[in-house]
Amino acid sequence: MSLSLYRTAKKGFLFSAILLLSSVFISCGGDGEVLATYDGGEITRGDMRRLVEASGQPAEKITTSQQNEILKMIATYRLAANELKDDQETQKWLEQNASLFERKALLRSFQGYLRTDDLFELMSIQIAILRKDPNRDRKPEAEALAKKLNDMSSEDEIAKLVIEASESQETRMNAGKIVPHCISCKPDLLEFITTPLKDAEKGQFIVIDAENAFYVARRISTDELEADEIMGYYQEYFNELARRAKEAGMKKEISPAMIESQAQQYADRLVRSQSQKNEKLWNHIEELEKKHEFKLNREDLNPDSFSEASGDTWIIELDGKKRTVADFKKVVDTTNLNDATMIQILQNIYIPTEILTLSPQYEDVKDSDLYSFLDRFYKDEAVAGRYIQKSIDKMEVTDEQIKEYYDLRKHNQFNGKPLPLVKETIRQQLMQAQSQTAVQGIQDNLFKKYNFKIDREKLKADEL
């Protein structure tokens, strides 16, 4: 088996997020405000905010129900981890892998640190589309249209000509003014249009030769916006669209509420798509690679290297200093890891974090409240997973349960197939159902044992 290290994993990134929510908040209370309590501890508003911040998910509205689930998740991990605080085997395992969880916290914290100042660059574009004809060259026609438009001084005249000339119903709807397009977002699906427009003079129509059409287009404006400004920006566009629709004789009026909803959807979608990306983190890592003479051992490193007693095989080199298999084993216990898992940890966590230790922002990130919270959270999550798994491992599905399940579904779900052919499928289904029930039961028992309570009066819709 060949090692596909590091760079092949870059765009897939890191480890799966378990959260669902936003990284932009409306403040409704201080970080120290206590939202939930349990015997021996409490969960604050700051805890909830930091967990949401770490998710890297969109700036969407968050309901009280979602806040309630976040608090329950934090509590479940903490309380389950507390149940194993005296379990020597678990604590030894945690000690052996503590550095791995700290590195996960470092990666997520760097993500948050690097995206805090992101601005969205939106380009307003006006386009007339002339479709290509295999029987004649329409480029001179497109160039003549561009010249005519550029010679006009009235915006109303320009709008009228664009509507008349464009052969796309979508672009005619708002006189060729398409929905403002994010050019700082990746990927830019309109790059074939936006790239030449960046270089063109603002307000001047140019001809863009595309695969199936000539685009006579101009850049009206380019604006840099904060995430919370995008909704209002889109709202202006849709207001103008509604006005033009009314002038064109559209009978059904577009209500302000509908415009606001549409603008909010566009804004949320835009912020969501970018907050889930890790471009800034990987760009930062790549800059550090160049600065610190990064090298990856592509020749000698393979899965067998990790079973060698000496661990002398080197993995990466930075500024002339090599990190070896022995160094890697100090971070994670590889004893029970299969090749695939070990390589995933190596390329997605170990190598990136080794590079990030050389970042000028490293100390700031390590000293942040987000890192402190995530360090504990990932360790609690891992130990809680072991606690829950121990409970699930005790479960079993009997032959009587399998037969009862089969008899009830023999003719519909299994189409009359004999029991021996579907027995294992039924066993797996029953085990899954029992596991889900068991997890809920474990949570209920922990909450009861530790008197866990949420102060729901402090939870407000759309506010963190």
**What domains lie within the chain, and their CATH numbers?**
120-275 (3.10.50.40)
**Of 200, 213, 208, 207, whose CA–CA distance to 148 is shortest?**
207
d(CA 56, CA 182): 19
**Of 184, 120, 111, 118, whose CA–CA distance to 361 is shortest?**
111
d(CA 445, CA 443): 5
Q: What SS3 state is found at 34?
A: strand
d(CA 119, CA 184): 8
d(CA 58, CA 66): 14
Residue identified by tokens 């088996």 is 1
Residue identified by tokens 């415009």 is 259
d(CA 155, CA 108): 48
Tokens of 128: 């007339």
- Written as tens digits, the pLDDT of the chain (464 aa) is 334 334 334 333 333 332 323 333 333 567 899 999 999 999 999 999 888 877 755 435 578 888 899 999 999 999 999 999 999 999 999 999 999 999 999 999 998 888 655 688 999 999 999 999 999 999 999 999 999 999 998 999 999 999 999 998 888 878 899 999 999 887 788 999 999 999 999 999 999 999 899 999 999 999 998 877 888 899 999 898 888 878 777 767 778 888 888 888 888 888 777 665 677 788 899 999 999 999 999 888 888 888 887 889 999 999 999 999 999 988 888 888 888 888 889 999 999 999 999 999 999 999 999 999 999 999 999 999 999 888 777 777 788 888 888 888 888 888 888 888 888 888 888 877 777 777 888 899 999 999 999 999 998 876 77
Give φ, ψ of 396 to 5 degrees: -150, 155
pTM value surpassing 0.75: no
